[in-house]
Amino acid sequence: MSVKGKIVCGPLPADEVVVTVPTTCCVTDGVWSNWEAWTSCQGTCNQCGTTTRTRTCLSENSGCPCTGLTTESMQCQVVGVWNDWVIQSQCSDTCGGCGVMTFTRTCQTSRCACIGATTKTEVCAFSTCLYPRRSCCGTLTAGSYNGKMECGPQPPLLVQDVNTIIPCITNPPPTIPCVARCSETCGLCGVMVDEPIQATPCIPLTTIVRCGDTPCPLPQNSCCAQYARRGLVNGILKCIPI
As annotated, the residues of the chain forming the CATH 2.20.100.10 domain(s) are 26-78
**pLDDT of 42-73, one tens digit each?**
888 888 999 999 999 999 998 999 999 999 99
Residue 1: band (very low, low, confident or very high) from pLDDT cuts 50, 70, 90: low
> Under CATH, which number does the domain 26-78 receive?
2.20.100.10
CA-wise closest residue to 202 among 175, 180, 227: 175
Beta carbons of 101 and 84 less than 8 angstroms apart:
no
Give residue 14's pLDDT.
63
DSSP assignment of 190-201, as one string?
EEEEE-S--SS-
The distance of Cα 36 from the centroid of its chain, to the nearest Å, equals: 18
Q: How many angstroms separate the CA atoms of 222 and 228, rounded?
A: 9
pTM of the model: 0.47
pLDDT over 70, % of the chain: 85
Give residue 33's pLDDT.
96
Least confident of 28-37, 98-107, 168-177, 216-225: 168-177
Give residue 163's pLDDT.
63
- The whole-number average pLDDT for the span 92-118 is 90
197 vs 95: which has the higher pLDDT: 95
pLDDT at 156 over 90: no
